[in-house]
Amino acid sequence: MGVTRRVFLQAAVAAGAAGAAGATTTALAGTAAAASGPGDVVGKITVGYQGWFACIGDGAPINAWWHWSSDAGQPPSPSNTGIVAWPDVRDYTHTYRTAYANLGNGQPATLFSSYDQQTVDTHFQWMQQYGIDTAALQRFNPNGGEGPTRDAMATKVRSAAEAHNVKFYVMYDVSDWTNMQSEIKTDWTAKMAAHTASPAYARQNGKPVVCIWGFGFNDNQRPFAPAPCLDVVNWFKAQGCYVIGGVPTWWRTGDRDSRPGFSDVYHAFHMLSPWMVGRIGNVGDADNFYNVATVPDLAECAAHGIDYQPCVLPGAVTLRQRAHGDFMWRQFYNMCRAGVQGVYISMFDEFNEGNQIAKTAESQAWVPAGSGFLALDEDGTACSSDYYLRLTGDGGRMLKGQLALTATRPTPPVTGGGGGGTPVNLALHRATSESSHTQVYGSGNAVDGDPNTYWESANNAFPQWLQVDLGAATGVRRMVLALPPSTAWGARTQTVAVQGSTDGGTFSQLLAAASYRFDPATGNTATVTLPATTVTRYVRLTFTANTGWPAGQVSEVQIYAS
């Protein structure tokens, strides 16, 4: 396989920085006129989803350590690796043993396979949990040996998106695709168009979304002339699609990473999403690009009735770019103050380049010993494994106006922080699980911040439990349990015990079963206080009685460090 879009054209970094030098303006650009109203990409957070990791023994047609190893026929090791960051695999039910040494904590070094449906379901559950609206499924030339596996991945992504109420669309990467002009049309007609029948397939302006990444790039992997590219764009538009262009950083000026003569191609897209990985690496770069690219790009798009979806990236772990979230948040701030129509996160699961937001090893205890991998605490600031998912959720809320525009990131790197004496609800928007639920009253309702939605277990079947994953082991002392505040809920007493676990497998009792009174006259809440602060990651509430209904019930579980 040739070099993909994430690692080419590093020389453009220098060119971009030189072009941006001296640009220090920070004035608010204002909101440009949007070409389209809100849909599944306009006004939304989209993540690039690779779904391209496989392991020998996982049943994938490719039968290889796909993208984990440089020699995919052999298990990954320090001398045979394709990644630069190590995933946190604690949420996967099935992983595969590698040739790396054990993790720093002594646990075996295992990796996930994207081919396992549970892996994809877990990823899309995270997207739902952390406010990610849409996933762009990467699709490279499907006509080689990788084709059957990629075809299967599209079906798995569709299933996960439908199950977790997340949208998805196909994003073609034309890198190294010799017969692209004809074969991309055949692939869409014969295979991918069928997925648009899914209720989870992304639509914008009523049209199924397709992205084509790579037209106009000034490199040998994408040598296409303007005419065949324009033909492909217009063909997809004729199929009734809303077409996004993944274009060079300097598409507007037609130089540096962009071939000249592609203006008509760029202007033919419904939405433009310029590439940014490898172009910026710190907050100063982000501010420079706000002035020399984002603001003028947005104006150019507005003048031509094109929607604009710039990239936001967390930064490469291996290059120490992340600055415990400051780098990513500055980009969110710049995009939102410019008034962009949507944001594309580069990427969700890009462990090969280290720009992933998916759960990642938080410290050296969670990476293979002697591997040389850095963890999220590489700059000395502890970060929970899901930190960049949480940060993405905050960025999405700011994009949608649910969070005030702020240059200061609102999410602390680890749960339990926050400063200012304000207690932080460690459970808010966290992953949950349960023993059961009835009808639509699933466990996620208990951490969604809405007091009117609630979890209710199966009826007449005590005991029942509800569990919250705090994302990382952290100090816990107090919990506030709530029922909907409506007076339609009569007063009741529930019997609840509390257990905790650091690994999700072995639980210990934190607080014995006790009765807690819920009364609408006093807010319908009950406070549960542990004898002492306890470090735990998974908090499980076990319900054994309820005088008001034969089930466990709770609308909000709030967990605090003190």
DSSP state of 258: B
For residues 304-314, give the mean pLDDT.
97
Instruction: Identify the pLDDT of residue 2.
Output: 36
Q: Which of 389, 551, 536 is nearest to 476 (CA)?
A: 536
Phi, psi (deg, nearest 5) at residue 135: -115, 130
Structure tokens at 210: 């397709």
At residue 488 the predicted structure's pLDDT band, cuts being 50, 70 and 90, is confident
pLDDT tens digits, 408-435: 998 888 865 443 745 678 898 899 999 9
Backbone φ and ψ of 158, nearest 5°: -60, -45
Give start and end residues of each alpha helix (H) in 35-179. Answer: 117-129, 147-164
For residue 16, pLDDT beyond 80: no
Q: What is the CA radius of gyration of the chain?
A: 24
Percent of the chain predicted with pLDDT > 70? 93
What tokens were used for 234? 């217009």
**Residue 561: beta bridge partners?**
none
Structure tokens that stand for 461 in this block: 């079947």
| DSSP element (H, E) containing 53 | none
The residues, any chain, with a CB within 8 Å of residue 531's CB and separated by 6 or more, are 511
Out of 103-112, 191-200, 362-371, 467-476, pick the least confident. 467-476
DSSP state letters, 194-227: GGGGSTTB-EETTEEEEEEE-TTBSSTT----HH
pLDDT at residue 342 tops 80: yes
* 13 has pLDDT over 90: no
553 Cβ contact partners less than 8 Å away, ≥ 6 residues apart: 454, 455, 456, 457, 483, 494, 543, 546
Distance CA 510, CA 389 (A): 28
Question: Can you tell me which residue has the tokens 């009117």?
Answer: 452
Alpha carbons 29 and 35: distance in angstroms, whole number: 17
Distance from C-alpha of 316 to C-alpha of 281, rounded to nearest angstrom: 8
Query: What average pLDDT does range 373-394 have in this prediction?
Result: 93
Check pLDDT > 60 for residue 553. yes
Domains contained in the chain, CATH given = 43-399 (3.20.20.80), 431-560 (2.60.120.260)
Question: Which residue bears the tokens 């002009």?
Answer: 181
Give per-residue burial for 448-474: e unless 16+ CB within 10 Å, then b: beebebbbbbeeeebebbbbbbbbbbb
Instruction: Give yes or no for residue 336 having a pLDDT over 80.
Output: yes
